[in-house]
Chains A and B, each alone.
Chain A
């Protein structure tokens, strides 16, 4: 028999404007372990939540550098070291001819960095999450806006936090439980 533990609370809002102002207040209260869930990226919500800039650009830059290095090394090694051949009387290391492949590989690995870096930073895929136990939470991919505050936040207090969310304009507030074995 699985024990049920309180994971946190979930508050539903109707409009981007409501959640925007709610997030500003929660940020100013000083909560740390909380999140907003929206059907689309609400413009400016990241600053209303006080989020730090994304780390993804660094991963993309690393990917691009790796791709460029791999491209030039592959071409140098196969055309100069492993299988040198005189083609049209050109030097073995004809770097101008190596530009297209180097460029394409930089782009390829930069794209890998962007996609897999984004998924990695977001810890996706995560198929199981306490929020998915809420039936109402399904609206997050349709037309509803949610704030979730986790019980592990030092400022969390079941009763007070729910009251605060109601005051911030939430149309519905519920507890979210997680199952433990």
Chain B
């Protein structure tokens, strides 16, 4: 059923301070609308006041300062995938942006929206987890910064307060000697929401794993870092036995369920295989 228009109100904010005054009166933010408008069209969006934040210039742009790259919350998927520095240094972010929806969605959907929507199937979180991003939240009280690993609390629950906006995400560039891996499994190439997806970075030295970070999406209430697998792999020689054992240990890190897109059993088997694909591809 279509939403009933008079139940909604929406105003545009052109600056952060303007946005805060709307948020403090209970309005909810809308940016690119690629999640909110889907709910709206289906008659499932909570009625009430919304504030359009898409025009706020403080939340836009990608800036580089020494070794730190900062992406404004309103950075679109298209901007991420086309950014040359990101392509070279944070390729998983570009690869994941490239697989969100298709061109028309990528032109509208934003980094901040992808995070704030807090879906376990969101495409950016696995990349942000392995790149150990920091997330900057802003409200009329000021700015606060937290590790991205601490942002998501549970299914659709996050650190973001009702009167706060995601300001930006920052990444440290120190992974030039690492292998970067991204794999998304969906029903088709375009427009698919994932059944499982994996991001991984790994540094190898004389066939011994020196550093590894692995993250999965769509297989737990939030995207997860696979700390058990990482702990096991670090310092191990990369061979068939290591890979076989890592696939078993993965069961401790991820807990996929049956839902509209897939079954827990399928997700688990495929996640194990994707992990194998990652480790076999090194070298």
Are A and B part of the same complex? no
